[in-house]
Amino acid sequence: MKAFVLDRYGKQRALQLTEVPVPELRDDEALVEVHAAGVNLLDAKIRSGEFKLILRYGMPLVLGHDVAGVVVKVGARVRQFKVGDEVYARADDFRIGSFAEFVPVKESSLALKPTTLTMAEAASLPLVALTAWQALVEMAALKRGQSVFVQAGSGGVGTFAIQLAKQRGARVATTTSSANVDMVRRLGADIVIDYKTQDFEGVLRDQDVVLNSQDGKTLTKSLRVLKPGGKLISISGPPDPAFGRQIAAPAMLRAALWLLSMGVRRQARSRGVDYRFLFMRAEGKQLREITRLVEAGAIHPVIDKVYPFESTNEALAHVEGGRAKGKVVVAVR
């Protein structure tokens, strides 16, 4: 099969389009013929080696975490899916590889594709949708009437998180540039802060939840806009001890994570708020909940651009540039 392959870590290193064997299928997996693949900043970070101490991938490596396509083969223990099903998923850690013609996905990570979406639209959702769900629903238990601050509202996670928070009845504040104000308001943002001209710390206070996706300085300021008992959930770090336990990290790595997050955890405790790091996981059951919301018209995907498969490197560069409005997708078929 054709695939875009990384032969060694390197910042902005080009992936090579080449022929590789179709991955061997395990008993609990379905083989998906890839029709479209979402492109995420996580792909660029893995390519650059930022996660090599946590996610120990061997080389050569096919990148790509989001997939929408058709099941062409199922493992011996797969019961929920059959050949011909249109599905979508966030590929499993250590089995990623949707920048290719085929990718294996665990049955527990798959969901039927929303019938109202194209393959490209479906491929734009899994990673960002699951990130928002696991942050706002699973970790924060966001409730009607609460206030949530979603940073970078025009990005992939932001565009979905705003819609999900509004669907749950929350008041939503977000940051974006002036060019994207109307877009995030249409998605449901109640308070829109132009990060180029305004400081969100001077606008917001007593937030119940903050979804942090920015740098350490923004993380520290975010602690100060939460009410006592509020929750700060960060998808950009630093990883905390709970994450070390989640990935069954060796003792030395757990100690390093404890030290990395010690400062922010101490600040959080002093303000009476909770700090959690989120590294999202593949989860088909949650995707099925997301499918219901999409098919009901409560949430819709936001796509910046769809690239042809041959332009996967250009798509990755576009995402890494940080200017995409919503998601970038590669059309494989």
Domains defined along the chain, listed by start: 2-125+301-331 (3.90.180.10), 128-277 (3.40.50.720)
Task: Check: CB of residue 243 under 8 Å from CB of residue 257.
Answer: yes
- CA atoms of 261 and 123, how far apart (whole Å): 33
Task: Check: CB of residue 241 under 8 Å from CB of residue 196.
Answer: no
- CA atoms of 124 and 248, how far apart (whole Å): 29
Segment 238-248 shows an average pLDDT of 89
How much is the pLDDT for 277?
96
- CA atoms of 110 and 68, how far apart (whole Å): 10
Helix (H, G, I), strand (E, B) or coil at 94: coil
Helix (H, G, I), strand (E, B) or coil at 280: coil
Handedness of CA 189, 132, 237, 12 (dihedral sign): negative
Tell me phi and psi for residue 26, to 5 degrees: -90, 165
Q: Which two tokens stand for residue 298?
A: 């409560």
Furthest C-alpha separation in the chain:
58
Q: Judge if the upstream peptide bond of residue 126 is cis by omega within 30 degrees of 0.
A: no
Helices (H) and strands (E) in the chain, counts: 10, 16
Query: In Å, how far are 5, 12, 64 from 46, measured between CA atoms?
Result: 12, 11, 10
Handedness of CA 259, 175, 302, 142 (dihedral sign): positive
How much is the pLDDT for 165?
98
pLDDT tops 90 at residue 12: no
pLDDT in tens, 256-302: 999 999 999 999 999 999 999 999 999 999 999 999 999 999 999 99
- CA atoms of 6 and 48, how far apart (whole Å): 10
Q: Residue 138 — pLDDT band, cuts 50, 70, 90?
A: very high
pLDDT tops 90 at residue 60: yes
Report the b/e string of 157-177 with b at 16+ CB within 10 A.
Answer: bbbbbbbbbbebebbbbbbbb
Q: What is the DSSP letter of 100?
A: B
Report the b/e string of 82-107 with b at 16+ CB within 10 A.
Answer: eeebbbbbbbbbebbbbbbbbbbbbb
Segment 56-72 shows an average pLDDT of 97
pLDDT in tens, 147-195: 999 999 999 999 999 999 999 999 999 999 999 999 999 999 999 999 9
How much is the pLDDT for 177?
95
How much is the pLDDT for 159?
98
Of the listed ranges 62-66, 112-116, 241-245, the least confidently predicted one is 241-245
How much is the pLDDT for 187?
98
Q: What percent of the chain has pLDDT over 90?
A: 92
Positions of E strands within 177-302: 191-194, 207-212, 226-234, 274-277
Chain mean pLDDT for the chain: 96
Task: Check: CB of residue 89 under 8 Å from CB of residue 269.
Answer: no
- The helix (run of H) or strand (run of E) holding residue 16 is strand 16-19
How much is the pLDDT for 53?
84
pLDDT in tens, 298-317: 999 999 999 999 999 999 99
Q: Which residues contact 132 (CB under 8 A, 6 or more apart)?
A: 157, 160, 161, 164, 211
Please give the model's pTM, rounded to 2 decimal places.
Answer: 0.97
How much is the pLDDT for 248?
87
Segment 77-97 shows an average pLDDT of 98
